[in-house]
Chains A and B, each alone.
Chain A
């Protein structure tokens, strides 16, 4: 166990605007509801739940990720932002045990992790909700909820799926997260996108996840549905989970995030604490401020150049 404290060095980046945040997480969580899991959130000196140090990943000739460092702490939401192809999914695949990093180190609870499959990560309490492969549409809510971890009854050849308990538990869990599902017997395919994400989050929380990784959970959702999902993310955070929230959308990230990791073409543009960055800065940094102004310029009608118009 090499409890190495905090990685020092502000995450290097080509970013000039806001000063990259050091390693103190000041934006601590308000009154952690039953802060169950080991490292308490917000404590600047506690060992982070997850940490990557200069992690890189290449696929053949493609450098998908280059020297990215980040931390995930209990009771905090770490947002990963970046454009298409920035390497967000690649990063979370490293975190969730799908790929090992090709370079750098990945620490879980301060010790190097050697995951060979998502199951290993799951066993360490790292649960991932993928946008596309969260649920099986033709199966009912309760079957999906317990898939892979079904409660059983009886022993030997008579061992069976404890259906009554599964249904009861699902109803209770969804209810306690404030998720309003009509009927746990209905196929997941009949739920709306937001409801589906919510059920997947409730499932991860129920199975004792300490870290919840969400890959673009709000990208396909309307404003209202996205709000619903953001609320459950806040719920999970308040229960003391460390959350990694991947998104394109700074307007979804800013209100809920405690720290922000910006990726651009596989490289980190810095990790910022909420106090160190404004929504405006986040937005322009994400889109590449100069590019955005260029775009605004190109899109504008015959107006005199120079008048900078922000379209966002």
Chain B
């Protein structure tokens, strides 16, 4: 029974490779690496690697969470600003209200979970597009971030986290460095790798993973066979919020201060990284590894452009071009995967 069908011959392997969602991102990453490494000595040095892995790591954590959400058929535009909100909560509570960094982080986590839960709840109850719902939360959070920060400090940033109790341990855990071959790498890189592995495992090897693909692929069909679609979606929004909390904490601990507009505009970068990684905008297809590679491409381009001494504005151009290429490639893949054969 395990004998492969003769009709599989030839097309099988090629087809299977081609319909891997990550394929485009892997090719893209190789091209981008070759491009920058070929021109910049620093870029390909071990210090250079540590340098561009750093932005890739925090972006990657978010891109993975957003990828899961997008596979589940939803968007979250509030995720970027939420990294700012959690950071602000943490710094304000520990510098102005005497809480330890750990307690402040816990409170920020609760708030993040609440925001994720509300996003999810509104989306599943009202059946409005999540694009609109989270655009609403995005604007509201942005307003609160600015309003509260200004009211409390009279400025648009909060700082002084370094003096808070528990700062050193929290920093070592989330924003510290580790040494590898004499070079310091950010701990966030480990978090990123761990989260990518965990997300991949959940997606490919657990029941909720199967449900995520199903609710994104065809929600009605999934419900008809008993998949708890609402719970799955709400859990995905909450997962995204937890990722935002983690990234917000990492950044706050690293810089010890948070701008009131932190994270603004990042929401699209997460989505773009996930799309480059093979996620379909229509849901039901994608991978966590792909999103991570998408983030890696961003990290490389972000720092590579600086190493080459170019104007940072070129980064935006690069971003747009990558997005277009990736979406076109994904559409081809989808056609190929979905084409009905008789």
Contacts and interface: CB of A to CB of B under 8 A. Distances in A.
B150 interface: no
Chain B CB within 10 Å, residue with most, of A122, A134, A136, A191: A136
Contacts of B338: 137-138, 187, 189-190
Interface stretch (A41-49, A52-60, A104-112, A158-166): A158-166
Interface string A182-198: 11010101111100000
Main secondary structure of the interface of A (DSSP, over half): loop
B1 A175 contact: yes
A294 interface: no
B5 interface: yes
Contact of B227 (A135, A137, A147, A152): A147
Interface residues of B, number: 37
Nearest to A207: B225
Contact of A148 (B205, B227, B340): B227
A309 interface: no
A136 B216 CA distance: 9
B16 interface: yes
B266 interface: no
B12 A183 contact: yes
Interface residues on A, range: 35 or more
- Chain B interface secondary structure, helix, strand, loop or mixed? helix
Interface in B1-30: 1-2, 4-5, 7-8, 12, 16, 19
Contact of A172 (B1, B224, B226): B1
A136 B213 contact: yes
A182 B226 contact: no
A143 interface: yes
Nearest to A180: B5
A183 B207 CA distance: 22
A118 interface: yes
B220 interface: yes
Contacts of A118: 223-224, 226
Contacts of A146: 210
B144 interface: no
A228 to B, nearest CB: 12
B12 A137 contact: no
Nearest to A134: B221
A147 B225 contact: yes
Contacts of A163: 205
Interface in A142-162: 143, 146-150, 152, 159-161
Given A190-B338, A190-B339, A159 B206 contact: yes
A187 B214 contact: no
Contacts of A135: 221
Contact of B217 (A119, A139, A183): A139
Contacts of A138: 213, 217, 284-285, 334, 337-338
B184 interface: no
Contacts of B337: 138, 187, 189-190
Contact of B206 (A147, A161, A185, A187): A161
Nearest to B12: A183
Contact of B222 (A122, A147, A175, A181): A147
Interface in A80-125: 118-119, 122
Contact of A183 (B8, B19, B213): B8
Contacts of A152: 207
Contacts of B334: 138
A290 interface: no
A13 to B, nearest CB: 32
B288 to A, nearest CB: 16
B218 interface: yes
Interface string B244-287: 00000000000000000000000000000000000000001100
Contact of A133 (B4, B211, B221, B342): B221
A215 to B, nearest CB: 11
Contacts of A133: 218, 220-221, 224
B139 to A, nearest CB: 33
A136 B341 contact: no
B222 A148 contact: yes
B5 A182 contact: yes
Given A130-B224, A182-B5, A147 B341 contact: no
Most-contacted residue by chain A among B213, B220, B221, B223 (CB, 10 A): B221
Contact of B340 (A136, A180, A191): A191
A139 B211 CA distance: 11
Contacts of A189: 337-340
Given A187-B19, A190-B341, A192-B341, A143 B210 contact: yes
Contacts of B206: 159-161
Contacts of A193: 340
A171 interface: yes
> Which of B5, B210, B213 has its CB near the most chain A CB atoms (within 10 A)?
B210
Contacts of A119: 226
B341 to A, nearest CB: 5
Given A171-B1, A175-B1, A182-B8, A136 B222 contact: yes
A69 interface: no
Interface of B: 1-2, 4-5, 7-8, 12, 16, 19, 201, 205-207, 209-211, 213-214, 217-218, 220-227, 284-285, 334, 337-342
5 contacts: A130-B221, A136-B214, A148-B211, A148-B214, A189-B337
Which 3 A-B pairs have CB atoms at the shortest separation, nearest pair first? A189-B338, A148-B225, A136-B217
Given A148-B227, A187-B338, 7 more contacts: A122-B226, A133-B221, A143-B213, A160-B206, A190-B337, A191-B340, A193-B340
